[in-house]
Structure 1
Amino acid sequence: MGNNTSPRTLLVLGNGFDLSLHIKSKYSDFYNSELFKRNNSVWSYIIPILIPDAKSVDWMDVESAISRVLLSPELGILKTYDTPQVKEALNFIDEQIGSTNRYQMWGNITMLEDFVFPKNQLNLAPLIFTISKLLRSQQDNQKLLEIIDYLSKNPYSKIQNLRQSPLNKDRPDDDKLDKMEKKLAEYYDEFLLIVSDFLLSELKIVECNFQEYLSSQIGDDYAGEACNKIRDFVGDSGSTSIDILNFNYTDLTGAASIFSPREMEVKINNIHGKLEKNNIIFGIDSHDDQKLADEQLQVLAQPFTKTSRKLRITETSQFNIDSNIKSIVFFGHSLSDADYSYFDYIFNEVDLYSSECKLIFKYATAYDRENSQRIKGEICATVEKLIRRYQNTVGQPNNLFDRLLIQGRIQIIDIDEEDTAGTAVSAFND
């Protein structure tokens, strides 16, 4: 916590900030780039399958897709691999080992799509299963192959079916079934650790490709334009000190240096890394793994949480919320679940229920004036969802959202509808 007694403003920036500066930083922009087409990561194959309209997908959709692969009961790394489709896919992969390189993999997997993805049911487990087998076999990881073979031949469902079948000479006794189940659990734990490492290394391939792509999109005038935009956002706050929590990968250090010491003291934290440090990260929210009853899947997902990955970034700057923050201005962030941990921390630090801190959510509609009312409604609903989730998380009185409205401590402002006097029009005041 800071000791400065002057009021401070916290500015939370999402991808919409860079988009407002005409940076093509959407995932869909990356998806349509030549760099993406040269990207041969497993995730670059999985994400378009999970999100059919990947050409218009947002970052929150990608983060959600990663979370679903790791955590969702219907899509995660499940314990049942005894379907005819999976067996046929495994047999096909076996035939390809030694003769298929990484680039040709996608064509072969596409051939399996009808087997791996039945038309009426989407199941990612077999896909990751088969891809990981193919890739790891090329690295002579015999242990993984043994684990996968064991899982495919001895699934949990087979053991359960045997337990329920009548006793006969072909049915193993209960002691043998117990040993099979114990051995399978041991293999499964090891399998998850290996696959987790594999999927994380594959995600780093996507990150490196995106880093190269985004670097190519930054113009020489980025710092000046960013400085002007920041000045517009906080110019009417009365603060001479501003903390910027930047969820983008672009570096605002140049923009901050333009402010004179008398005009504004600026501190910046790139929460997910930045291009100049070569340490950008994609990931899931640390709250996601709390949903799981299956502790084994938590082991799989934990290395993918943003907090876990941030700990591995070298030269990570400390993120503290100053005690004198009187207003928090949000712009360009989707307020998605993937970053909820950060919002939870911020609201706790400013004592949102009892303090006088204001929440100001700014957004733009100039790009789509015909749908401005719909956009406004969606923003209002997203903000209310965030506040109500927070009050449930920390056990706050269930009137927190109403309290903020009554006290005038929450505003949703269309920056393209500010009146000529500079007075912002709040969506909640309609």
Structure 2
Amino acid sequence: MLRGTKNLIVTGNGFDLYCGLNSTFKKFIESKYDEINNSYNSYLNYKSESIGKILRENINNFYLIKNEDKTKFLNLFPLIHINDKKELDTVIEELQFYHNPNSAFFKERKKLKGLTEIKDELLSSTQRGYLKFLEDSKRIDKYNFWEILLVLYGSYEKSWYDIEKEMSNFLLNSNRKNFIIDEIQTQYDSFLNNNISKIPHDLSPKIEFLLFTILNKNVGKELSVENFLKEELFRFENKFAEFIKKDIQSHTDYKYKRRDLFNKLNRLTNSHRSNVLTFNYTMSKHPHNIKKVKSVHGSIYNSLKNNHSNIIFGIDANINYPDFMSETSKKTIYSYTKTYRTLNYQFNNNEDTVLDKNIKNIIFFGHSLGDSDYSYFQSIFDYYNLYHSEVSLYFIFSPHGGSSDIYSREKQSDKVINLLKNYGNTLENKDHGLNLIHKLIIEDRLKIENLNNII
């Protein structure tokens, strides 16, 4: 084969991991998990033990609450107290009770526990629980809304890909009747205006905790929930960029390992230089064996612009909107897509166009091939008219964690098949879509290779 720039190498975070970096989201979040989780558990304890236990032990046996909103006020006191400085003893004193006529104590004319005694127990318990929660919540003031969200929903255990999947799940939750940001804005306004009666009884503890985070961090700023979340996303991205920078600084051999890995991938097709389309944030311009490079979602080496971040997180632009969602809500959701955010923040104005016409091979390494970046893959395949072209696809895997070649190959194959089936479904000629994979195999244009077998 003639030498030249005939390769387009597509890289994801697995590329950097192979080169020795610890740039996983799990590594980024693991030091934060305990403090965030402890604070959330303190909030649950305040509700279930400090308040719930006293009420369960006393109210059902002796009394019933006259005004349920007063109980709701007590349950949500940590959130309400941010703006309404009414103290716990006043809240508890305002609770109104009446005898429970179905109680065995009442029917058998047994001595009822006094209201003063019950209220004293309630005050003592809630004060302990509230002070413990305040102590734990102060430790997470330094954390971002999105860090807290991702810990609450468990993404600290998952892969890089699932950060953005969890963002999508949060924004597009189809189990809700309303758009989540609108819903949170409504509850946020109710807390600000002390209109507790409008706060639903079935608000989930995790949403309550996120509301506490927004109320606490937004004091004095008066940002809408939508604008607050956007500002927090910028901060989240900047914190992750700093994490990546420090990781590279601690791995001084990273750039040499990166060079060697690109050389190895180039040897697949007897090429010396390639164009690179990377989903990582770590590429500088230009490694010696790279002709053109494009960092799709920004780079830690980009200069900050308009007080925004130099890298982005976002959701895929191919969105299945829930039926209930309004056009206004859809527009808000779209502003969280990678397509919108990349265009809006103009990371790539000074970068190269890597989709050269002479590209004959597209080599994928270290990318999950997941839904969050599917729009980009579709665009690449469309550009090269994959079905009718002579472009070959190489999907490279590297067994790790003791996995065998067979297991790793099958896992990679599943991802490749899913990607190409999804792409085939977009072709106008449905017969072409159905036989795309078969055609690529027959024409020897689809390869799945173990990196360790490249000489």
Sort the Cα spacing of 1:377 and 1:297 in 2 relative to 1 into closer, same or farther, 3 A: farther
Question: In structure 1, which of residues 303, 312, 328 is the aligned counterpart of residue 344 of structure 2?
Answer: 312
1:77 aligns with 2:179: yes
1:30–1:210: 8 Å Cα contact kept in structure 2? yes
- Residue 43 of structure 1 is matched in structure 2 by 146
Distance in 2 between residues matched to 1:89 and 1:371, nearest whole Å: 55
Offset of residue 358 of structure 1: 0.5
Question: In structure 1, which of residues 223, 226, 250 is the aligned counterpart of residue 255 of structure 2?
Answer: 223
- Residue 299 of structure 1 is matched in structure 2 by 331
Distance in 1 between residues matched to 2:330 and 2:353, nearest whole Å: 26
> CA offsets, 1:158-192, max 9 Å, x none?
xxxxxxxxxxxxxxxxxxxxxxxxxxxxxxxxxxx
> CA offsets, 1:61-100, max 9 Å, x none?
1100111111222267349969xxx98996699599xxxx
- Residue 162 of structure 1 is matched in structure 2 by none
Amino acid paired to 1:413: E
Offset of residue 275 of structure 1: 0.7
Amino acid paired to 2:179: I
Offset of residue 373 of structure 1: 3.0
Sort the Cα spacing of 1:136 and 1:87 in 2 relative to 1 into closer, same or farther, 3 A: closer
Sort the Cα spacing of 1:92 and 1:309 in 2 relative to 1 into closer, same or farther, 3 A: closer
Aligned residues between the structures: 330
- Residue 266 of structure 1 is matched in structure 2 by 291
Distance in 1 between residues matched to 2:143 and 2:296, nearest whole Å: 27
Describe the SS at the equivalent of 1:412: strand
1:340 aligns with 2:368: no
Distance in 1 between residues matched to 2:259 and 2:4, nearest whole Å: 22
Offset of residue 138 of structure 1: 3.1
Which protein shows a greater Rg? 2
Amino acid paired to 1:45: I
Offset of residue 221 of structure 1: 2.4
Distance in 2 between residues matched to 1:235 and 1:196, nearest whole Å: 48
Offset of residue 328 of structure 1: 0.4
1:321 aligns with 2:408: no
Distance in 2 between residues matched to 1:5 and 1:34, nearest whole Å: 49
- Residue 251 of structure 1 is matched in structure 2 by 283
1:196 aligns with 2:226: yes
CA RMSD after TM alignment: 3.5
2:28–2:243: 8 Å Cα contact kept in structure 1? yes
Distance in 2 between residues matched to 1:203 and 1:88, nearest whole Å: 19
Sort the Cα spacing of 1:138 and 1:36 in 2 relative to 1 into closer, same or farther, 3 A: farther
Offset of residue 253 of structure 1: 2.9
What percent identity do the matched residue pairs reach? 27
Distance in 2 between residues matched to 1:373 and 1:301, nearest whole Å: 40
Sort the Cα spacing of 1:233 and 1:301 in 2 relative to 1 into closer, same or farther, 3 A: same
Note the 1:3-22 alignment, pairs <5 A.
8-22=6-20
Amino acid paired to 1:77: F
1:64 aligns with 2:146: no
Amino acid paired to 1:271: V
Gaps of 5+ in 2: 36-139, 305-309
TM-score, reference length from structure 2: 0.64
Offset of residue 48 of structure 1: 1.7
1:71–1:297: 8 Å Cα contact kept in structure 2? no
Question: In structure 2, which of residues 26, 30, 33 is the aligned counterpart of residue 32 of structure 1?
Answer: 30
Question: In structure 2, which of residues 430, 440, 448 is the aligned counterpart of residue 404 of structure 1?
Answer: 440
> CA offsets, 1:383-413, max 9 Å, x none?
0010010111233421111111111111111
> CA offsets, 1:210-269, max 9 Å, x none?
111111111332222211110001123133441101111112435x23x4xxxxx52111
Amino acid paired to 1:21: C
1:212 aligns with 2:242: yes
Offset of residue 321 of structure 1: 1.1
1:14–1:331: 8 Å Cα contact kept in structure 2? yes
Sort the Cα spacing of 1:334 and 1:6 in 2 relative to 1 into closer, same or farther, 3 A: same
Describe the SS at the equivalent of 1:40: coil
